[in-house]
A and B are shown apart, each in its own frame.
Chain A
Amino acid sequence: GAGVSQSPSNKVTEKGKDVELRCDPISGHTALYWYRQSLGQGLEFLIYFQGNSAPDKSGLPSDRFSAERTGGSVSTLTIQRTQQEDSAVYLCASSLSGGMNTEAFFGQGTRLTVV
């Protein structure tokens, strides 16, 4: 498909387990963002990748959270030793960027539930 793809769409995990969330951005998009939306909350910034630059990790809530972007394309968000407060919808977005301001396109999100 032509859009941003996220997998899995839903994930239920036990407290203390590690989870990996995947994002396939739109081909050719150099910018990739991760956000999370907790129940009734807004879009909380997590991390931003732009081309080959060092990512902006300033939004990651703790050292249990990490993200990679391999080959400038697919990204994985890893949450180690999950806690119940990690339950949220995790949204990925990508944009063409390349020095121009442009809109970002979002995936459908991954709904994470930690039980």
Chain B
Amino acid sequence: DQQVKQNSPSLSVQEGRISILNCDYTNSMFDYFLWYKKYPAEGPTFLISISSIKDKNEDGRFTVFLNKSAKHLSLHIVPSQPGDSAVYFCAALNNNNDMRFGAGTRLTVKP
């Protein structure tokens, strides 16, 4: 069951521009959300998270926005850099820390 959905399998952005990655979820029991970044042949690495009590969390070039009523979150990367090229996974946890992932979005940042 697809409780977490990333409907864009890929995204291509010019260096210096904003990258916006989107994620939707269906389970209202999710109360903590995370973004992971994955390079080929490596495990995913944690990038940024947000609690359901917030609507925005910022860390350097990365900002995550949460719209609880729409069950939607997004990751903004500004400015995008070629080294940001990777697959980005959205994840959601319920209050038992049971974690589900989206299918991922492959971001390509062109120099």
Binding site for B on A (CB under 8 A): 4, 31, 33, 35, 41-43, 45, 48, 50, 56, 91, 93, 95, 97, 101-109
Residues of B within 8 A of A35 (CB): 101
* In the A-B complex, the 5 residue pairs with the closest CB atoms: A42-B103, A106-B43, A101-B32, A43-B101, A103-B46
Among residues of B, the one whose C-beta sits closest to the C-beta of A105 is B46
What are 13 A-B contacts defined by CB distance under 8 Å?
A42-B104, A45-B101, A48-B98, A48-B99, A91-B44, A93-B99, A95-B97, A101-B51, A102-B97, A103-B46, A103-B49, A106-B44, A107-B43
Q: B6 interface residue, CB < 8 Å from A? A: yes
Given contact pairs A35-B101, A48-B99, A43 touches B6 in the complex (Cβ within 8 A):
no
A108 to B41, CA, bound (A): 7
What is the CB-to-nearest-CB distance from A90 to chain B, in angstroms, rounded to a whole number?
11
Contact at A104–B99, with CB atoms within 8 Å? yes
Contact at B89–A43, with CB atoms within 8 Å? yes
- Number of contacting residues on B, CB 8 A? 25
What is the CB-to-nearest-CB distance from B4 to chain A, in angstroms, rounded to a whole number?
9
Contact string against A for B residues 39-70, beta-carbon threshold 8 Å, 1 for contact and 0 otherwise: 00111111001010000000000000000000
Given contact pairs A101-B32, A101-B51, A103-B49, A42 touches B43 in the complex (Cβ within 8 A):
no
Q: B28 interface residue, CB < 8 Å from A? A: no
Please tell me which one of the listed residues B41, B93, B98 contacts residue A56 in the complex, with CB atoms under 8 A apart: B98
Among residues of A, the one whose C-beta sits closest to the C-beta of B2 is A42
